[in-house]
Amino acid sequence: MPDEPSTMRLLELGPHLLGFYDGRVPGKRYHSAEPNWLDDGGYALGICSYAIVDGVSAIVYDTHLSVAHATLIRRALEARGVRDIRVVLSHWHLDHVAGNAAFADCEIIACDETARLLLEKRAEIEAGSLDGPPVISPLILPTTTFSGGLELSCGNVGVELRPLDIHSRDGVALYLPADGTLLAGDTLEDTVTYVDEPGRLQAHLAGLAEVAGWDFSRILPNHGAAERIAGAGYDGGLIDATRIYVERLLAAATDERWAALPLQAFVAEPLAKGSIAYFEPYEAVHRSNVAKVQATVHGVP
């Protein structure tokens, strides 16, 4: 693996918000030419971790694809004079916790369920037997946990951690009340959500209905187009596009007409509205999602 992720970009997203984006680089892989969760997941689809910064304080929202990525994030923050760093984890998935070791001396905050899942899966993750290479070892676990919501401050910047049962049961969104920015983690994704819990899509629809009622000025997901994240961000259309996609996945579980559609036809209306943008690597995500929901109907774990 390269010593440093040379394709990672720093995005200036506001007076107190930075984005650290990597991936979606044509013809480029980061870890290896062989199939692996890092290159074929977060790097291929594009991934952004965030940092709220005020004076000497920072809150890092997810630790990115590797310790090398997280180390670059930490260096960038320290170069700006940051000395007090806390980490918030959006959920337990590998591409969001892989860099935890770079912040091993910092407070790492997660909801109770994220902490439970990471502890439960720690041996598999450190052995590389969960999703294969690259191995995350040691996996640094959360040091502070919470249930329900949690309010924090980063210098003079207020931060709200809000649980969301979308994509994974342990989702935590980060909301900045001063300007209405919603950091959505993997609860929302452009082009479409990655299904990890196919048997819980109805619960995820309830979560989507909940977040649709929130007051926000922009949505910044972890997986999306760098240009959109660096620009105006996403609006409520991303929530609606995700709802449409999940509803149609449920239909595709038993209706081969839906199941056979390519991604562009499956979400034609949100694409036409510009709520999401077509990105070809999501075709593989879509085919996998359809297979998972069909397997669930047929009782395949």
pLDDT in tens, the chain (301 residues): 456 889 999 999 999 999 999 999 999 999 999 999 999 999 999 999 999 999 999 999 999 999 999 999 999 999 999 999 999 999 999 999 999 999 999 999 999 999 999 999 999 999 999 999 999 999 999 999 999 999 999 999 999 999 999 999 999 999 999 999 999 999 999 999 999 999 999 999 999 999 999 999 999 999 999 999 999 999 999 999 999 999 999 999 999 999 999 999 999 999 999 999 999 999 999 999 999 999 998 765 5
- What's domain 9-297's superfamily in CATH? Ribonuclease Z/Hydroxyacylglutathione hydrolase-like (3.60.15.10)
| Structure token pair of residue 49 | 């971790």
Give the separation between CA 269 and CA 190, rounded to whole angstroms.
14
Handedness of CA 38, 224, 81, 94 (dihedral sign): negative
Residue 232: CB atoms within 10 A of its CB come to 9
- φ/ψ of 11, rounded to 5, equals -110, 125
Give the separation between CA 93 and CA 196, rounded to whole angstroms.
10
First and final C-alpha spacing in the chain: 33
Q: Is residue 154 helix, strand or coil?
A: strand
Confidence (pTM): 0.96
- φ/ψ of 207, rounded to 5, equals -65, -40
Give the pLDDT confidence score for residue 297 in this predicted structure. 81
Give the separation between CA 193 and CA 196, rounded to whole angstroms.
9
Given a contact cutoff of 8 angstroms between Cβ atoms, the answer to whether 184 and 219 are in contact is: yes
Give the pLDDT confidence score for residue 33 in this predicted structure. 93
- DSSP structural state of residue 62: -
| Structure token pair of residue 196 | 């990890």
What does R_g of the chain's alpha carbons equal in angstroms?
18
Give the separation between CA 238 and CA 64, rounded to whole angstroms.
22
What residues are paired with 185 via a beta bridge?
Answer: 221
Give the pLDDT confidence score for residue 4 in this predicted structure. 80
